[in-house]
Structure 1
Amino acid sequence: MNHTEGFFPGADGVELYYQAWQPAEPAKAVLIIAHGLGEHSGRYQNVVEALVPQRYAIYALDHRGYGRSPGQRGHINEWAEYREDLRRFVQMVQEKEAERPLFLMGHSMGGCIALNYAEYYPDGLQGVVASAPAVGKLDIPTPLAVMSKLLSSVWPTLSVSSGLDVEAISRDTAVIEAYQNDPLVHDKGTPRLATELDKAAQETLARAGEFQPPLLLLHGDADR
């Protein structure tokens, strides 16, 4: 297995971090991973270790404001930044991997990014894997939703806790401990991220009937 790291220009020229894993033999297909809220591309070693020996090449990016990519932690100005960053990443991977079949995977917030991307840019995707995607009306208490919308207008960059329940990310205590001890993981978010994610989650579900690529949807039976 060969591991490489690098940066690529995002939607507005910001240099975003990515890493890639190549099998020893020529890859039969390519998987791009979009990580979830608070985490980064390095948290998918289980996927890498399972698929690279099966001759899948894997590419994963750190979204702006996450991992080794620049930007205020957990902040975007608008949802299109995530979607267009991913578009440029996909284009870069396609140039590197020529005619190999390309699949896209996203988890949680990354699942929403992946599904939303595929609704806008389905061409070239052989399939999409969405793991517990954040789509539909998010479970945000009404007072908090109202406050987020207000702050998104007057103080969009206010850094607050994302409210992610770490104990709910896995039944495996080792996974939880690794998450808690990971220096690249953070719990930051902003009012603008909250309102943009909520809008994107609802838009993505509303457009589900337009979805074109084959889709594998995964969801834990105890996920809340």
Structure 2
Amino acid sequence: MLLSRTPVLALMASAGLALLSACGASETPAQQPAPAEEPEVQAEAAGEEHAEDAQAHESEAKADDHDHDHDHGSSGAGAAHVHGAAELALSWEGSKLTGELISPLANFGLSEAEGVISDAVLAELPGLVMITGGNCTAEPPVAKVDKSTGHTDAHIKLSWTCANPPGVSSLTFSGFPAFSSFERVNAIYLTDTVQKAGELSPSSPSLSLK
């Protein structure tokens, strides 16, 4: 039985399209997905990242420890909190000689945990530092306790009104006999023209200001 022309052409066209489609699929390979990283590579990268994070954390911790040590090793005036040692600074304000003694509270035989300056210690403070020459009159010392550095220090404000400031010749720390825990006092004296500094001790308690 003969087939009509139109259905045959339609079948041929369909077959041709199918053939071309099959050829195109065979000639153009499908794009393959990118290969996944090997487990060893992933583990190595993760290990390196972890090591870098740990190193950064360690560096930050060391910096924090350094800051912490620095803050707890200094007093408000920048002097180290060392039992047995103290800092004394004097300078002029017009005709008035002013000074400040900074000392661990333990040097006075007092408890740093309690942080209280006893009446017995307060009674000794007026003669703690003596000035020679200048016809000077001492004013009552003002003492307070400072715990801002993590330690307990005594800050003692001193002042003298002098009739003849150029006549002041020396200072003496007379607290060594009264407070045996004092071993040394680092003293400094500053004026517009003079700078004097020295370490005072029980055997050498005076500093020349000339």
Scaled by the length of structure 2, what TM-score is found?
0.26
Compare relative contact order (CA 8 Å, sep 6+) and give the higher one, 1 or 2: 1
Structure that is richer in helix per residue: 1
Structure that is richer in strand per residue: 2
Scaled by the length of structure 1, what TM-score is found?
0.25
**Which structure has the larger Rg?**
2
